[in-house]
Amino acid sequence: MGYRQTKYKYADDFVKFCNDCDVNYAKLLRLVGEHSLPRIYGMENQLELEISLIAEHKYTTSYRLTVYMPMGETMQLEHKMDVNLYHDARVAEVVCFDNLSRLSPKYQYPNDDMFHPDEKTQQNRLLGEWLSHCAKHGYSKSYNPAFNAQ
C-alpha cells in the first residue's frame, strides 16, 4: 500500500548541491593527497575513518569511506560511503551509502522507503561533515590490515 500523494513539492537547491560537491572534492583530495591508500584517520572520540581506493580511471576516481566505532576491544563497522570524484568537473558525489545507491535527486514525502525529500543532498552534506571533522580533529594512523577482515 503506497502513501497518499500530497500537493507539497520539494524545491531542491541545485546550486547549493553543486557547491557541496565542489567543496567535498577539494576536502577529499586534501585528505588523500599523494599518500598511499588505504588511510586511517583516528578521531578524538575514538571513531576511525578509513579511506580506500576502489577504482581509478582517466576522469573519475572512486573511494570508499568507512567509519568504525570502538566496541570493546575491536572496531565495529558503523557506516560506509562510496564517493566518485569527477576530475573534469572537479566535484565529488556520494554514489552509495550503506549499500543504498542510485538515489533520485528528490522524493515526494512521505514515500514507501521513507526517504527525505532531499536524501541525496543530505548524504553529500554528511560527506562534507565527515571530511571537515577528519581534517579538523583527525590524525593519520598507520594502515591496520584488521579492518579488511571485517
**pLDDT for the residue numbered 70:** 83
CA dist 40 and 102 (Å) reads 27
What's the confidence (pLDDT) of residue 100?
76
Cα–Cα distance, 92 to 63 (Å, whole number):
10
Domain boundaries, the chain: 14-100+107-141
Instruction: Name 63's bridge partners.
Output: 53, 83
Amino acid at 47: L
Phi/psi region, residue 47 (left: phi>0; alpha: psi -120 to 50; beta: rest), is beta
pLDDT digits (tens, 9 = 90+) for 69-97: 888 778 788 899 999 999 999 999 999 98
Which stretches of the chain score pLDDT less than 50?
1, 3-4, 6-8, 10, 144-150
Walk across the sheet containing 60-71 and list its strands: 100-101, 91-97, 74-86, 60-71, 48-56, 39-42, 139-141
Q: Are 91 and 25 in contact (CB under 8 A)?
A: yes
| Strand extents, DSSP E, 57-149 | 60-71, 74-86, 91-97, 100-101, 139-141
Q: Tell me, what's the pLDDT at 1?
A: 47
d(CA 112, CA 130): 28
The residues facing 50 across adjacent strands are: 40, 66
The whole model's pTM is what? 0.77
- Cell numbers at 99, concatenated: 549499500
